[in-house]
Amino acid sequence: MKAPERGALPLGLAATLGRTYGRLTETVQGLSDADFERETRCPGMPVGPLLVHLLYDAERALIAFASPAVVEPDRDFVTYWKDFPPQPDGDTSFVRGIAASYRKPGQLVQHWREVSEAAVRASALGLATKGHRIETQGHVLRAADFVATLVLEATVHHLDLTVGLPDAPEPDAEGLQVTARTLDGLFGPDAWDVIGWDTTTYVLKATGRVPLDENDLEMLGPHASRLPLLG
């Protein structure tokens, strides 16, 4: 399959988020203490701390859907990410400390499952309300655009988690397509026709998870300097 597939966001985004979060739960369910210390593609964030990062993202979704906005949106699912350009690795001591506070990995997984499933239910209710808008991180988005940002975050970090977990399930296919669609918007139509990667490779390379090789540089030409599109 050549990536990415263009088009609008899919219908049933709450179901997409549910599957995306569910695949993450499958990935971390039953992992050992040692597994939670395995490195990921996020420097300084092993599996446990990265799951904490995802947990806080799901909690942010609950807060957002409980705090509807009345003003016009100032961001969509693409422009939202322009506020989060690639940057040097930040301090990860907070999420590492939170991960260490759970006595057993299973307790963190249970907390993640409860919060993520609640976030999916809140998303379904928000999407069912015509014109629903939410406020998060200083911006207002339509519900569908916001849910698409949650799907991207979870999909990219799923790929981050599984680098050291070879038996983990793949991310949800539609979640990958939502992520690719977002990257399309950041990359721009002038670059679309030169991309020959499959969808997963596109996500990994466009977000800087996997470095570009000589073939990539030749394929992308002048567009190579624009990567990574987000951190």
CATH of the domain at 72: 1.20.120.450
pLDDT attached to residue 21:
98
Summarize pLDDT for 98-152 with one digit per residue, the tens: 999 998 999 999 999 999 999 999 999 999 999 999 999 999 999 999 999 999 9
Residue 23 maps to a domain:
yes
Residue 96 is part of which domain span? Answer: 13-226
Summarize pLDDT for 178-223 with one digit per residue, the tens: 999 999 999 988 787 889 999 999 999 999 999 999 999 999 999 9
Total number of domains constituting the chain: 1
pLDDT attached to residue 90:
72
Residue 7 maps to a domain:
no
Summarize pLDDT for 69-82 with one digit per residue, the tens: 999 999 999 999 98
Structure-token pair, residue 18? 């549910």
Considering only CA atoms, which of 173, 172, 174, 61 is closest in space to residue 120? 61
Q: Judge whether 139 and 26 are in contact, CB under 8 Å.
A: no
Residue 3 maps to a domain:
no
